[in-house]
Amino acid sequence: MASLHGPSQFRPRQAYTDPLLSPPPPPPPPGPAPSSPFPATPSYKARPVGPRYSQSRGKPHPPGGIKLHKGEWKLLLLVCAVAVVVRFWRLGWPDSVIFDEVHFGKFASKYVKSQYYVDVHPPLAKLLITFAAFVSGYDGNFDSKISESALYEHVPYVAMRSLPATLGVLLVPITYLTLRALDCRADTALLGSLFITFENGLLTQSRLILLDSPLLFFTALTIFFWVGFANENRAAPFTHSWWVWLTCVGLSLGAVVSCKWVGLFTIATIGLCTIRQLWVLLGDTRVSIALWIRHFLARALCLIAVPATFYMAMFELHFLILSNSGDGDGFMSAEFQHTLNGKKMADTYADVGVGSKIVMRHWNTNGGFLHSHDHSYPGGSKRASLPFSSPHANRTRRTTNHPYPHLDVNNGWRILNATWDNHSPGYDWETEPFRALADGDMIKLQHIAISKMLHSHDIRPPVSEVDFQNEVSGYGFTGFSGDANDYWVVEIAEGDRRDRASSKRVRTLRTLFKLKHALTGCYLFSHKVKLPDWGYEQQEVTCNKNAVRANSLWFIELSEHNKLPATSPKVNYRKPGFLSKFLELQQVMWTTNAGFTERHAFDCRPNTWPILRRGINFWVKDHRQIYLLGNPVVWYLSTLAVALYFFARGMLILRAKRGYKDFNNSGLVFYDNLCSFLVLGWALHYAPFFLMARQLFLHHYFPALWFAVLLSAAVYDMATSKLKPRYRVQVALVLVGLAVWTYSHFNPLVYGSVWTRGKCESSKWLKTLDFACGDFYPNVSLCQPSARRLS
Amino acid sequence: MAEESTRRRNVSSSSYGNSKKEEGFVYDDQSASQDDADGKGLSAKHAKFLPRGQQHVRPRRLPPPSTLTEFIQQNWEWIPPVIYTLLAAFTRYYQIGKSNVVVWDEAHFGKFGSHYLKRDFYFDVHPPLGKMLVGLAGLLSGYDGSFEFKSGEAYPSHVPYTAMRVILATFGVGMVPIGWFTAVELGFSQRACHLVTLMVLCDCAWATISRFILLDSMLLFFTFTTVFGLTKFHNQQWRSFSFEWWFWLAFTGVSIGCVDSVKWVGFFVTALVGLYTIEDLWEKFGDLQMPIRIYLRHWAARILCLIITPFMVYLASFKIHFLILNHSGPGDAQMSSLFQANLRGNDFSQNPLEVAYGSKITLKNMGWGGGLLHSHPHSYPTGSQQQQVTCYHYKDDNNHWLVMPRWDEKEYDPNGDLRFLQDGDTVRLIHASTGRNMHSHPLPAPITKLNNEVSCYGNATVGDHQDHWAVEVVDDLNMGSKDKVHRIHSLTTRLRLKHVAQGCYLRAANAILPQWGWKQVEVSCVKENNPRDAHTYWNVESHWNDRLPRGEVKLYRSPFFRDFWHLNVAMMTSNNALIPDPDKEDILASTPYQWPWLNVGLRMCGWGDQQIKYYLLGNPIVWWSGTASLLLSLVALGVYLLRMQRRYNDFEPGQWDHVLYVGKVALIGWFLHYFPFLAMGRVTYIHHYLPALWFSVLMTGHLLDHFIFKSKRLSERTKWTVFIFCALAVIETFLWFRGIVFGIEGPIQDYKGLLWRKSWNIY
């Protein structure tokens, strides 16, 4: 164990690793480097007082990056081996779908079958999982109706699980190296990495097909690269290896944000550190402005352009793979859907006139079709003395399994002339020449299948029963031409810039228009409100007197007219480029994500995370359970470390204000910088969750937890810095021993293995922890029969 | 004090306080007069950073003026504010009664004023001070409170609306001189003071909003006085604990109390004072020369003047509110049952005291903003599809419930022995008008899906054990803790209803049902037993039982603090519920993003040709220059910080601190008054920006001062040119838009050239 803590107790630090900032590059020494007046300082107290970033300590600068002692590599290998055992132990059990595996399994099969889907997370982690499945021969036949806790059949789920598990294993050496790069001692790094190894929560999460393990891996990787870069920057900027470290930070940042948007917090962490680095550099008047700008541009290139490109490349890959229509179509705009195989539409006539047969779509809510079918509203107009079955107008909802629109006769409408009394004389489209539909024309819309007119009247709609909304229905019968409530005025809202005519008359696909009800002045309107069962959960269509603009815009997707010659101009959707597809998807992801506000049985708010108030029940079956729960020793030590930091830092600030010169102690400055960096990471990965209204779970704390665990290691480093190596190792061993003991105590909840009710009951140190003890057998002997599935 | 008076302290660094620039410094003004040299050094060396008022070292005793010229010379500094006040009186009072209809929100605030005159209890989202002043204005002008204030209706002859408007517009007049003195206290140059005051005088929005029966003129006035108090206090910092120091600290405190009691928007300016105080105390904490005792005195003074005083003012306004409004009125239902019992015209105090089987009762939820347990013959469209049970805020026969024995007990006999309801009894609650039993079952409630649904089911003969509810007493407001409660008293006993079969508790929180539930409050059964959840507490509100004696009002006392707290929470709840309908285009509403650029105006009344039309729109020059200077200030701050980091020295000693102090007041003040509206979910209007505008005007003055009027490089001639240009621009724009302030008669098309932006809906 002697190799754990370096050559001597008072191992001189080469330079204080300050990941937040780097000192200015040393001025070129005008001769032999001046030897430090304080050579080989034996302890912190005797360190030179004054300049925070002394350039030389009597030895030449280290080359930057990280430096490990020779023996440490073996040690690291040993830790990795332990991690492999812990992560991969019986990875195939349970052989059923656990918790959110159901989603990610489905997404993998969507990738394999190229079916378009929409998810709130960016694609990288899912692509990695799919890749793991694909190389082990997955054919994508994961049944889309499969539910949680069902058994896997013909799915290489072990291969899929081994990807997060591998990344979970890699987290351990990265933790070790990060701590070493932060200039902590080897025993500290060992403690930190073992804490991560035996953290039950991270462990549980990395054994299942979930996104958190890739996310955590890339977060840690980014921080590791950043610390390495900061070391390099202190040694000598603009060297080859400096560029390599910086580019690695950028790529890794791109990867973390391509796993989950939580990666934005990592970007914020690195961003703040970069800003501070540049700020300090600016204060160094020896650095010329030109050199400073070079520093700035290098960082802008590698930390902004590189991650952004990486992120977009992931989406490009995503679009390339998902080339076919699938169940995610409904989230996307009509133009977007048109790019998918199976949703392509033939060209249609550009001109629309009185007498045209059309299919009309709503603009804002992803282009639902104006639809009607032969079923009447149960309330509303039935009471309003419409004595017979009146079809109601409503829109197809995305999940309604409709054939493509022009095949569904219920989406077809015919434009008829609506002139009465004093208006322009009646126009018969069947005999007279074609007349294009222009702004201000008054029309009727006749449903082709049922030949009733689109109608509105002063009756509240079935769902949105508010005074500014009117019901819209289909009305009329043979021999009755309808009344003035069928009249609608076309108001062109917006034409296409590249098609001048489209702002003067209605052109298919190019003109956005509103339909104003002639008598009541309300506008044909639709919004994301669904009709109840009797309306087949389709979207409600109403007539709104104070309509918001976006929801009252419509366009025509298909048009046909007998009078139009076959040679007349045709149009089709404009194919959106990558950028507009990318931006549209980002927006859809954002709104979907923000819409997850409903309570979940196992959600919990951020304030309960650091105290580990409750976990998540992943799986219960056959008197076994998998429950996401942290290792209380590791977890509470990390929380304690954070609390200690805030207390100590608060005291230091108060003392500094009262004139105490604590910060002249360079040892304190070292630990202050180290801990501040880790706490910054912790806070930026934790605090933003308080602002989120969506449902949150314990696993959202994991990136912050990683920082907190590192912080607890750093606190250990500081607390034991004055101990003799022997005692130091003893303290570390006690802590690791405690962590391993609690790990092994709770491991049945991780591996889904045999546990007894008594042990379970006695393990609830908080009554809010809700693992289901009632499901376990009272003693082990009873469990044997059902253990046959273990293999 | 004698010992301390001789002490000096060295002020090494501080970001506040032009008064701290001097090398030596004394603790009270008693010694300031003793130490003449110090005082002189101060004024000589740092006069240019001192506010204008202190630059004049006037002789102590002037002979009384004998001629008018002498009088004017002696009072020269009072001339501009007096003139501006007279001008302000013109812009605020001119043709104030021209429109004889109820304009815009006069419909609300006029009505609330009437309630004070009629003494009917009403409920509103704003604290009472402003509306009480409206009531006072009505009282002073001889209004009897009988008018309904329907929007757009003409005032009948007996409503002295002009007098009421004049009284309230006086607050708007007061803004102008306060604006002047604030600029003076902030150390602006003469020219900047004039410009800032002109902007206050000539802003169309400030002028227009002051001319009607609204709360905004009061809110603005008290916001102005608070900022004024703060700047005045800041300039007394060099003589801590002197009379002036105490006076202006207390003045600020009272002003905070007033502004908070008019509208809660006042909390933003309170936050500004709070931040100033925190920084001030932090700097004093770092002052090693200051004895701890003095430091604690500083704390105590601020707690007394800036926390306790405003709170007392706020409390007092509510106390007076409750004292005046002692009759039952439209706002009763928002208050606790006990409070209502003490209103005249309310029959709760006639309730029989103890509830018995067979009583007809209404049950009121005791959570904040809780309503009455309600059911109606409409069923849930989801879940069980049984009859809805909701919480409803108004009195209605559908709130009546009958207390009946369990199914397995003997049926209630109206002629049998009286049996009083006791803690732990299990009962059935029958909805009086439909005869159904309140019921719950393990189906998810429509909104709060983790809870069980509560419905009404069955009838007098059909039912099951899921209709059984156990009464659990929490405590009694008069009798005290649970052990002392033997029978359920109406109004005062707090109880919970536990569903016997499922073990869940009847709860109504602030979840609103969709339109099918008439937007009433959802009632559900919560599985988690949280004995401190007030949303599971209920009390018997109305109680009818012919077989029991009537109660008396003395049995039902309601403590003031409980009512005060209850009303404040109810206001908060209602305020948060003012959420815009996403499907409705509200042409009056606007988003905060539109305000700084003056993208929107607001039609305050009907727009017919015959009507007199007012349009709430800022003076574009004032608004745009304010926004531009806020942006410029950020740029300037960034540039100065970067230059400082590069070790450039741009400022004379002390100058930076003063520039930063004024900039902080303006920028942070603006930010505090603007940003919260972005974060709020509620519907917002352009007049919400008016308090923030004051800080942007201050920033305009500050930047003009910093870059032009106090610049050493520019000539006097340039400074005059800039000044005259700015002043003319402000005045001319006001004159151009005077129509929308004083009221436009005749067709709007006759007034050309007002549409400076397409988004204004003037025409």
**What string of H, E and C letters represents the secondary structure of A680-709?**
HHHHHCCHHHHHCCCCCCHHHHHHHHHHHH
> Do residues A290 and A358 share a domain?
no
Q: Which residue range forms the structural domain that includes residue B255?
A: 78-319+593-750
> Do residues B311 and B387 share a domain?
no
Distance from CA of A464 to the nearest CA of B (A): 7
Tally of residues, chain B: 763
A586 found inside a domain? no
> Do residues A493 and A363 share a domain?
yes
Of B381, B515, B645, the CB nearest to A466: B515
- Say if the Cβ atoms of B585 and A469 lie within 8 Å: no
Q: And the tokens for A563?
A: 């009078």
Specify whether the CB–CB gap between B501 and B438 falls below 8 A. Answer: no
B496 found inside a domain? yes
Tally Cβ neighbours within 10 Å of residue B149. Answer: 20
> Do residues A314 and A361 share a domain?
no
Least confident range from A308-312, B351-355, B555-559: namely B555-559
Of A283, A463, A599, the CB nearest to B449: A599
> Do residues A368 and A314 share a domain?
no
> Do residues B354 and B473 share a domain?
yes
* CATH at residue B407: 2.80.10.50
Beta bridge partners of B439: B455
> Do residues B136 and B198 share a domain?
yes
> Do residues A739 and A662 share a domain?
yes
Q: Which of B514, B546, B578 is the last residue of a domain?
A: B546
pLDDT of residue B35 exceeding 80? no
- Say if the Cβ atoms of B584 and A659 lie within 8 Å: no
B761 found inside a domain? no
Least confident range from A132-146, B236-250, B524-538: namely A132-146
Mean pLDDT over residues B616-639, rounded? 96
Cβ within 8 Å of residue B680, ≥6 positions away: none
Tally Cβ neighbours within 10 Å of residue B382. Answer: 15
Specify whether the CB–CB gap between A573 and A555 falls below 8 A. Answer: no
> Do residues B350 and B289 share a domain?
no
Q: Find the closest chain B residue to A548 by CA distance.
A: B585
> Do residues A179 and A256 share a domain?
yes
pTM for the full predicted model: 0.84
Please tell me the predicted confidence (pLDDT) of residue A329: 82
Residues of chain A with C-beta less than 8 angstroms from the C-beta of B583: 464, 469, 525, 527, 544, 547-548, 551
Judge whether A527 is closer than 8 Å to chain B, CB to CB. Answer: yes
A443 found inside a domain? yes
A-B contacts at Cβ under 8 angstroms: 54
> Do residues A135 and A222 share a domain?
yes
From B305, B284, B303, select the one nearest B294 (Cα to Cα): B284
Distance from CA of A659 to the nearest CA of B (A): 7
Distance from CA of A12 to the nearest CA of B (A): 32
> Do residues A369 and A282 share a domain?
no
Specify whether the CB–CB gap between B541 and B400 falls below 8 A. Answer: no
B582 found inside a domain? no
B442 found inside a domain? yes
- Say if the Cβ atoms of A282 and B288 lie within 8 Å: no
- Say if the Cβ atoms of B584 and A544 lie within 8 Å: yes
| Cis, bond preceding A7 (omega within 30 deg of 0) | no
Beta bridge partners of A554: A362, A513
> Do residues B538 and B616 share a domain?
no
Least confident range from B230-239, B380-389, B726-735: namely B380-389
B672 found inside a domain? yes
Q: Which of A512, A542, A568 is the last residue of a domain?
A: A568
Mean pLDDT over residues B559-580, rounded? 85
> Do residues A137 and A248 share a domain?
yes
What's the domain count of chain B? 2
The values of phi and psi at residue A366, to 5°, are: 55, 35
Q: B51-88 pLDDT, tens per residue?
A: 444 444 555 667 788 888 888 888 888 999 999 999 99
More confident residue, B437 or A69: B437
Q: B106-165 pLDDT, tens per residue?
A: 999 999 999 999 999 999 999 999 999 999 999 999 999 889 889 888 999 999 999 999
pLDDT of residue B301 exceeding 60? yes
> Do residues A545 and A459 share a domain?
yes
Residues of chain B with C-beta less than 8 angstroms from the C-beta of A364: none
> Do residues B266 and B391 share a domain?
no
Distance from CA of A511 to the nearest CA of B (A): 22
- Say if the Cβ atoms of A548 and B288 lie within 8 Å: no
> Do residues A614 and A545 share a domain?
no
Of A282, A463, A549, the CB nearest to B646: A282
A441 found inside a domain? yes
- Say if the Cβ atoms of A599 and B448 lie within 8 Å: yes
Q: Exposed e or buried b for every residue in A128-147, given b needs 16+ CB within 10 A?
A: bbbbbbbeeebebebeeebe
* CATH at residue A426: 2.80.10.50
Please tell me the predicted confidence (pLDDT) of residue B489: 87
A784 found inside a domain? no
Separation CA A382–CA A471 (nearest Å): 11
> Do residues B314 and B445 share a domain?
no
> Do residues B619 and B541 share a domain?
no
Q: Name which of B447, B452, B576, B585 to mutate to probe chain A: the one with the most chain A Cβ atoms within 10 A of its Cβ.
A: B585
Mean pLDDT over residues A546-575, rounded? 86
B497 found inside a domain? yes
Distance from CA of A618 to the nearest CA of B (A): 18
> Do residues B295 and B417 share a domain?
no
Q: Where does the pLDDT of residue B701 fall: very low under 50, low under 70, confident under 90, or very high at 90 and above?
A: very high
Chain A, 280 to 309: residues with Cβ < 8 Å from chain B are 282-283, 285
A274 found inside a domain? yes
> Do residues B294 and B351 share a domain?
no
CA dist list (Å): B256 to A51, B228, B413, B694:
47, 11, 61, 16
Residues of chain A with C-beta less than 8 angstroms from the C-beta of B582: 527, 548
**What sign results for the dihedral spanned by CA atoms B186, B188, B192, B193?**
positive
Q: Which of B518, B546, B574 is the last residue of a domain?
A: B546
Q: Where does the pLDDT of residue A22 fall: very low under 50, low under 70, confident under 90, or very high at 90 and above?
A: very low
Residues of chain B with C-beta less than 8 angstroms from the C-beta of A547: 583-585
Judge whether A597 is closer than 8 Å to chain B, CB to CB. Answer: no
Mean pLDDT over residues A516-527, rounded? 88
The rounded Cα B596 to chain-centroid distance in angstroms is 21
B235 found inside a domain? yes
Residues of chain B with C-beta less than 8 angstroms from the C-beta of A654: 285
Chain A, 255 to 284: residues with Cβ < 8 Å from chain B are 279, 282-283
pLDDT of residue B17 exceeding 70? no
The values of phi and psi at residue A155, to 5°, are: -120, 130
Separation CA B473–CA B5 (nearest Å): 63
Residues of chain A with C-beta less than 8 angstroms from the C-beta of B675: none
> Do residues B534 and B620 share a domain?
no
> Do residues A627 and A483 share a domain?
no
Distance from CA of B512 to the nearest CA of A (A): 14
CA dist list (Å): A773 to A95, A603, A630, B48, B566:
22, 20, 17, 77, 43
pLDDT of residue A425 exceeding 60? no
B731 found inside a domain? yes
Q: Which residue range forms the structural domain that includes residue A510?
A: 351-390+405-568
> Do residues B362 and B262 share a domain?
no
- Say if the Cβ atoms of B449 and A598 lie within 8 Å: yes
Q: A319-371 pLDDT, tens per residue?
A: 999 999 888 887 888 888 888 888 777 888 888 888 888 888 888 877 678 88
What's the domain count of chain A? 2
Q: Which of B546, B562, B582 is the last residue of a domain?
A: B546
Q: Where does the pLDDT of residue B4 fall: very low under 50, low under 70, confident under 90, or very high at 90 and above?
A: very low
The rounded Cα A63 to chain-centroid distance in angstroms is 38
Q: Where does the pLDDT of residue A50 fall: very low under 50, low under 70, confident under 90, or very high at 90 and above?
A: very low
A114 found inside a domain? yes
